[in-house]
Structure 1
């Protein structure tokens, strides 16, 4: 049994601010350690760049793209499913070759950072074993945005599930194996 903790509200543990609140629906992006060019590595530089620029860079598929390997993508997808309905409610997700998008609602007593840390920690160890490597797998920080209304919620699901199409990886959202679009369509 995981100990529940009080939520933190607005906080900034690393370079990006985060919002942790019970029953907040969050859009989160976390990425592989080598997924952005080195000029994006400095948090100050990243803050000056517009979010769309960063998204374009991620969609270019830079880095080793370990998440493009079915065995690694499957590990990550299983992590997303692991505590669905217990610690969070998973609404949408997409595992891209070098980053992950997900939309979920936190459940009282389960902090945003703890949820993401649990996804990343265990799967990084397993993925590194599969890849026969050591070292950092995920970028330390993550991006999150809480949903303010139903319209934003719907647009975010559409963005997440269309990301592989936008990146040129498939023609239709349901064609991407590592996304909620296939589940939503019943395939």
Structure 2
């Protein structure tokens, strides 16, 4: 993954949220993050969707909706859940048969 794409994935990292793990798949995205107390998760997701949709539509020469209206979130209650979520996110491309190891998928925090 080029430095610019990584930079975009982490655009407000450490300002509005702290990225813990992420993975961009062909048809969906997984993100594990900790929000700042004053920032709502919904506002973060809206900004990501707006920015990424504009960039993707520009690259594809199209217009219109790209992302589903809603998103799925989970509250992480303890270290066991955190570890499970991070492992699941970074193993997602391996489970989908897109690569042999999490580090081999360039669109993921595992590739850092």
TM-score normalised by structure 1 residue count: 0.56
The answer (yes or no) to whether the contact 1:92–1:104 under 8 Å persists in 2 is yes
The answer (yes or no) to whether the contact 1:79–1:119 under 8 Å persists in 2 is no
Structure 2: distance between partners of 1:172 and 1:113: 31
Aligned equivalent of 1:169: 98
Structure 2: distance between partners of 1:79 and 1:147: 25
SS in 2 for 1:144: coil
Corresponding residue to 1:133 among 62, 72, 83:
62
Aligned equivalent of 2:73: 144
Residue-by-residue CA offset, 1:86-123 (whole Å, 9 max, x unaligned):
00000000000000000000002111000000111012
The alignment status of 1:86 with 2:15, answered yes or no, reads yes
Q: Report deviation, 1:79.
A: 3.5
Question: Which structure features the higher share of strand residues?
Answer: 1
Structure 1: distance between partners of 2:98 and 2:24: 12
The answer (yes or no) to whether the contact 1:94–1:102 under 8 Å persists in 2 is yes
Aligned equivalent of 2:83: 154
Structure 2: distance between partners of 1:154 and 1:108: 22
Corresponding residue pairs, total: 110
Residue-by-residue CA offset, 1:65-95 (whole Å, 9 max, x unaligned):
xxxxx79xx3xx5433000000000000000
CA RMSD of aligned residues (A): 1.4
Q: Report matched runs for 1:106-117 at 5 Å.
A: 106-117=35-46
Question: Which runs of 5 or more residues in structure 2 are unaligned?
Answer: none
The answer (yes or no) to whether the contact 1:92–1:180 under 8 Å persists in 2 is yes
Aligned equivalent of 1:104: 33
SS in 2 for 1:146: coil
SS in 2 for 1:141: coil
TM-score normalised by structure 2 residue count: 0.93
Residue-by-residue CA offset, 1:41-62 (whole Å, 9 max, x unaligned):
xxxxxxxxxxxxxxxxxxxxxx
